[in-house]
Structure 1
Amino acid sequence: MTFRWRVFGLMVVIALTATGATAWLTLRLTSQQFTEAAATDQQTAEDIVAQIASYGRGHGTWTGVSVEVKRLSDQTGKRIQLTAESGEVIVDSDNLAGHAARPTVGAPLLANPRPALVFSTDELRGDVYGQTATAIGNYRRQVLFNSCVTSNAPAGFTASADELSTGPGFPDPALEMRAKHGNEVVRSCALQALPSKEEVATTLELTRGCIDDPQRITCLRAVFAQRTDDVAPLPMLVHVGAVGDLDKTVVIWPVAGAAGGIMLLVIVGTAVLSRRVLRPVELLTKASQGLGTGDLSRRVQVSGNDEFAMLASTFNHMAQSLQEGEDRQRRLVADVAHEIRTPLANLRGYLEALKDNVLPPSPALFASLHEETMLQQRIVDDLQDLALAESGQLAYHKSHTDLGDLLQSCRVAVEVAAETAGVQVFLHTPQPVTVYADPDRLRQVVGNLLNNALRSTGAGGTVTLSSGQTGDVATIEVTDTGSGIHPEHVPRLFDRFWRADAARTRSSGHSGLGLAIAQQITHDHDGTITVSSELGVGTTFTIRMPVASSLQGVGGSIMSIRSAVDRTSPKVL
């Protein structure tokens, strides 16, 4: 599976997971809300039934209940239907609203206005039989009175259930003043509600019949129910709600459809985003493949300033370095071929001349042949040192080395060459400075810098070798009063195979590798080498490296993991 598809798959999984979690949470919250709404509807239905039952108890009849049903329906927004236990519809809010009755939903609730006989603890200690007879008489009288007033009140009579419940024996002055014709209705109903002697006698007889009953309370409650059933309103079945009302059942498909739509949008967006994100990766892959096939000119267009832009810039820098390295290698091969071809051609010419007796053998001829051989040897040595330095296999035999002695030996080594060139070499070592280094390799570095200084300094000029110490850092400086180096060439002085003079001839006597080797040796000693130059004034090379500590070199010389090379004399490159 390609990287593109892996990233795309990962983003799709994340998107689907996020969308699924969102859908699940939405469904859960919706279900919770619907459950709460259903509980609220149930409570509303119970409140409606309680108020309807209260109407029946207060009025002693279901006459006029339609007004209460309409009020409750308008107040709650619910469809309300009252039916008798026989199934007869008493009142329906749909009909009251002027449209056909809708089918009911769910089981009906019972609105029971009939009373129940309950005794307190104190009442149980008293005459429960007399209390029962009194309760029966009061209820019958009250319910008959309330029913009568409700059924016979003239238009405009608006006595409430609370007012009607006062009944005869509990005169309410306000009731007398409710309406002009109210007094006649109240007096008439009060007279009709008075019990007859036969009713009172029957009640007393039935209650006294419970005296000998072991379950006297149960018996008294049965008597109470018997004596009140004929006057109490019948229980009603109340249906709240209807088909067509807002369904509180959780509908999954719309939620699932919405989640599916979101998933589709997320997938499409993911595809577009992955293409946009992976496009730079695709370009880098193609460019890398081009580099792998040898096309070092491949580059990637850099746009923006994000991580991909940094990666593209780094890739271009790497490709540029590879191309420059390839170019340097090609120049090196050409230079080495040129350097070797000329001495070999000279050697071949002289040897053929000696073979054909064209030239007689002479010390001068053999000296020339030896010079050409030494030039070949110098080129080969430089190449070998550079290869070892680059691969990390150059051998070091480190010891405590005094920089004053080392610089003095380097000065003596070039004394004859300096005198021939008319250049004075000065030594400045004001204080002893000791470093832990390979003295031969360090002489090789200083000798290279000193030899370069002599080449660039004309007759009458000077070259100064100096050493010093600043804190834990030792310094070596090689300063000349030569022609200086052009500023644009300074950054590339230590590049391998690079020379300021591209048209170098054999007479220059060097291969362009010395400074690269010197820099590598210095780095291997944990040091640095820098250069400062001014055209027409001169150049200064500065080497900085740690001073020696007392623990370094304990137990003998420490050799780094590098193969050995010829160390018979300090090299001057």
Structure 2
Amino acid sequence: MRHSLLVRLVASTVLIAVCSIVATAWLAARSTSGEIRHQQGQTLASDARINDALLGYAASHPRWDGVEDTVRDLARRNDRRIALATEGGTRIADSATGRPPLPARASAVVDPLAVDVSLVPGAATDRIDARAVGPFRLPDSERVRLRKEVDAQAACGLRRGLRPGTVVVGPGGRPYIRDDGQSARTTGADPQRPRVGTLTGPSTCAVDPSGMPRASRTPGPTATEKRALKQLAALVTTCMHRRVDVGLDETGKPTAPASAAECLAGARRTQLKPYVAPAALLYIGSPEDRTPRIDPYGIAGVTAVILGLAVAISVLVATRLVRPVRAVTAAARRMRAGDGSARVRVRAKGEVGELGAAFNEMSEHLDRMERQRKAMVSDVSHELRTPLANILGWLEAAQDGVAELDPALTASLVEEATLLRHIVDDLQQITLADAGRLRLHPEPVDAVDLVKQIATVHRAAAAAAGLTLTTEVRGSLPLDADPARLRQAVGNLISNAIRYTPAGGRVTLRAYADGGDVLIEVADTGPGIAPEHLPYVFDRFWRAEKSRSRQTGGSGLGLAIVRHLAEAHGGSATVRSEPGRGATFVLRLTGRTETA
């Protein structure tokens, strides 16, 4: 199949189409993927900023009243449509004019007590926004006092050569010192982190016995923080069913032992709920459609490459197809000019190879037929010339008085004339067979009786040649055939066997059934036929011995007539032989099925 012309043409077309599709898809993906990734990155960053801003608003306001201005400002700065709605579907705020329908799906839930970690990857483990401080928010007076203490600690450390830090204010207003390059911790309790009110050094700016400066005391909880801690501790104790120590870390975030982490998170949500806005659905509209940037020069280049590839493949396939066709054309013209040896060198396979092989077979057949035609003309001329020369010579001799036209000479002349008529009759039968006009008169015939009759007729000729003619038949072998033509065919085979079998040999005539066919065989014990001669045995005027003497062969038409007669009956004529072991000629005829 891979050498088939159809398969190659289809494969070439598919290859070109696939290359075009792949190139087009690759170009489109390459032209738009960068823009899409850029837009997706901008969209995610924008969504995170919007969500963070609204979370900050919700963490610092107990209601959503007044969020409209914030929503519009965020929409303007991010070039997006932003809408907020309650979980029941009531619209809280919308940056779009005309109040169009909300998108079918919310982008996120804005809830400072349950932060969406997909938009806030660094959220605390309890998912409570750090800006939600509720009752821990310090008044201005306490903020000023704590700030003075922290500033004094930072100045003391700087005078004593401690590593300098930065004073940072936590979400609730509590200031603390953060080491440069370190971020404040806002997660749960850390046993290694100082808690508010824990002594880590003397209260004054002093040094230890080795001369190194000592850390100062972390400012203790304010009155506001104490009240909030008392309330929170009560909630945690109720959850744990035992008293739990609840404190603050240096940023002002409540802490508790790790075993009470879940109860602390639940207690904080209960405590903070009145101070933060309720959860709301956030809708963020798609950004404006932007036409991806496409490189026209890239498209032109890829198109040129595809065109060049298509042309190259087409030229290659066409060249491989045209080359053998041109070779066949050239050989055909040589044949027309009279060169019978014109052949095509077959290299390709598939339909093109079959075309070359068929042309070579046709050329060889025509060359053989031409040689046979010339040989036939020569043979016919020779076969007719010999008896005609004999007849003419004896008649001229009798006319001149040289020979006496006695009964013996007359019989010889009659024999020569009979031979002429036989040759003419054979040629006529060959001509009728070639033209498809060989007439048969089929009738029910028993092959066994027919074989016995033919053996009886030729037994005398076999005895005269010193041969034994036997038959091997049994039963009944009915068939529909022309008995005269069939006798002629079998008689030709027997005559041929008698002619080529040396004296003392044997000729056997057999008839038997083979399935639904009747086989008639004529076997001899002659010299046999060489393998290279077997394909030409049934050709007209063919002789293994090229001598034209009638003592070594007949006219060369007998076996050709046998084949035509067998084919006219719908059968076949074949031969099998080995040199030195005789030859067996087989007529295969279709038997007749007898009905009751």
Q: Shared topology, TM-score over 0.5?
A: yes
Structure 2 Cα separation of the partners of residues 278 and 521 of structure 1: 45
Deviations 1:389-415 (A, max 9, x none): 334332222222112321232233334
Task: Kindly indicate whether the alpha-carbon contact (under 8 Å) linking 1:59 and 1:165 is maintained by their aligned counterparts in 2.
Answer: no
Secondary structure of 2:519's aligned partner:
strand
Between 522-531 and 439-448, report the one with greater CA deviation: 522-531
Shift of 1:441: 1.4
> What is the match of residue 109 of structure 1?
78
Is 1:399–2:443 an aligned residue pair?
A: yes
Partner of residue 543 from structure 1, selected from 587, 590, 596: 587
- 2-side partners of 1:287 and 1:143: how far apart? 112
Percentage of identical aligned residues:
33
Give the distance between the partners of 2:329 and 2:39, measured in 1 at CA.
Answer: 61
Q: Distance in 1 between matches of 2:332 and 2:9?
A: 25
Match of 1:223? none
Please give the alpha-carbon distance, in whole angstroms, between the structure 1 residues aligned to 2:568 and 2:318: 47
**Matches of 2:35 and 2:329 in 1, distance apart?**
55
Rate the CA distance shift 1:400–1:352 in 2: closer, same or farther, 3 A.
same
Contact 2:499 2:553 in 1 (8 A): no
Instruction: Work out the CA distance in 1 between the residues paired with 2:399 and 2:530.
Output: 49
Q: Does residue 410 of structure 2 align to residue 366 of structure 1?
A: yes
The one-letter amino acid paired with 1:452 is: N
Range 18-27 or range 331-340, more displaced = 18-27
Name the amino acid aligned to 1:47: A
The one-letter amino acid of 2:557's match is L
Distance 2:293 2:139 in 1: 45
Q: CA shift at 1:13, angstroms?
A: 6.4
Unaligned runs of 5+ in 2: 1-5, 62-72, 90-134, 155-163, 176-193, 201-214, 226-286
Tell me if the contact between 1:302 and 1:312 (Cα under 8 Å) persists in the aligned partners: yes
Specify which of 382, 390, 404 is matched with residue 346 of structure 1: 390
Does 1:25 pair with 2:22?
Answer: no
- Residue correspondence of structure 1 range 448-527 to structure 2 within 5 A: 448-508=492-552, 510-527=554-571
- Determine if the alignment matches structure 1 residue 437 to structure 2 residue 481: yes
> Per-residue CA shift, 1:498-553, capped at 9, x if unaligned?
210112224556221211221232234343433344555543323333331126xx
C-alpha displacement of 1:446: 0.7
State the partner residue of 1:529: 573
**What is the TM-score normalised by the length of structure 1?**
0.59
- Judged with a 3 Å threshold, the aligned counterparts in structure 2 of structure 1 residues 294 and 147 are, in CA distance, closer, same or farther, namely farther
Tell me how far apart the structure 2 counterparts of residues 145 and 377 of structure 1 sit (CA, whole Å): 149
- What is the 5 A alignment of 1:160-309? 162-164=171-173, 249-303=293-347, 308-309=352-353
RCO (CA 8 Å, sep 6+): is it higher in 1 or 2?
Answer: 1
Q: Distance in 2 between matches of 1:340 and 1:388?
A: 20
One-letter amino acid matched to 1:467: A
Aligned equivalents of 1:352 and 1:148: distance in 2? 167
Instruction: Write the distance in 1 (CA, Å) between the matches of 2:144 and 2:487.
Output: 132
Cα root mean square deviation, aligned: 5.0
CA shift, 1:176, in A, is 8.7
The match for 1:446 is 490
Partner of 1:159: 168
Check 1:535–1:20 CA distance in 2 against 1; reply closer, same or farther (3 A cut): closer
AA of the residue aligned to 2:20:
G
Q: What is the CA distance between 1:448 and its match in structure 2?
A: 0.4
Instruction: Give me the whole-angstrom Cα distance separating, in 1, the residues matched to 2:170 and 2:362.
Output: 98
Answer yes or no: is 1:420 the counterpart of 2:464. yes
SS in structure 2 at match of 1:162: coil
Tell me which amino acid in the other structure corresponds to 1:374. Answer: T
Residue aligning to 1:564: none
Partner of 1:244: none
Which of 323, 326, 329 is 2:367 aligned to? 323
Measure, in 1, the Cα distance between the counterparts of 2:395 and 2:558.
31
Secondary structure in 2 matching 1:441: helix
When normalised by structure 2's length, the TM-score is 0.57
Query: CA-to-partner distance for each residue in 1:6-49, whole Å, 9 max, x for gaps?
Result: 99999886665444323332344343663354233223234345
Separation of aligned partners in 1, 2:145 and 2:296: 55
Change (3 A) 1:440 1:158: farther
Task: Tell me: CA distance 1:49–1:527, structure 2 relative to 1, closer, same or farther (3 Å).
Answer: same
Change (3 A) 1:175 1:373: farther
Task: Give the C-alpha shift of residue 300 in structure 1.
Answer: 2.0
Shift of 1:326: 1.8
Query: Partners in 1 of 2:11 and 2:402 — Cα distance?
Result: 85
SS of residue in 1 equivalent to 2:363: helix
Q: Is the 8 A contact 1:527 1:545 kept in 2?
A: yes
Q: Aligned partners of 1:356 and 1:500: how far apart in 2?
A: 41
Distance in 2 of aligned mates of 1:342 and 1:293 = 35
Counterpart AA for 2:42 = D
Name the CA distance, whole Å, in 1 between partners of 2:27 and 2:170: 46
**Cross-structure match for 1:39:** 40
Secondary structure of the residue aligned to 1:431 is coil
CA contact (8 A) 2:20 2:306 kept: no
Query: Is the CA contact 1:8–1:271 (under 8 Å) kept in the aligned structure 2?
Result: no
Q: CA contact under 8 A between 2:448 and 2:477: conserved in structure 1?
A: yes
- Tell me: CA distance 1:59–1:521, structure 2 relative to 1, closer, same or farther (3 Å): same
Assess, with a 3 A threshold, how the Cα gap between structure 1 residues 59 and 7 changes in structure 2: closer, same or farther: same
Q: Which runs of 5+ in 1 are unaligned?
A: 1-5, 61-84, 86-106, 122-137, 167-172, 191-239, 241-246, 555-573
Structure 1 residue matching 2:168: 3-state secondary structure: coil
Q: In structure 1, how many angstroms separate the alpha carbons of the residues matched to 2:388 and 2:378? A: 15
Partner of residue 567, structure 1 = none
Determine the C-alpha separation between the residues in 1 that align with 2:144 and 2:172: 13
> 1:282 corresponds to which letter in structure 2?
R
Structure holding more helix per residue: 1
The structure-2 alpha-carbon separation of the partners of 1:407 and 1:274, relative to structure 1 and needing over 3 Å to count, comes to same
Does the Cα contact within 8 Å between 1:59 and 1:143 map onto a contact in 2? no
Shift of the 32–384 alpha-carbon distance from structure 1 to 2, 3 Å rule, reads farther
Deviation for aligned residue 1:146? 9.3
SS in 2 for 1:466: strand
Structure 1's 517 and 257: CA in aligned 2 closer, same or farther, altered over 3 A?
Answer: same
Amino acid at match of 1:162: P
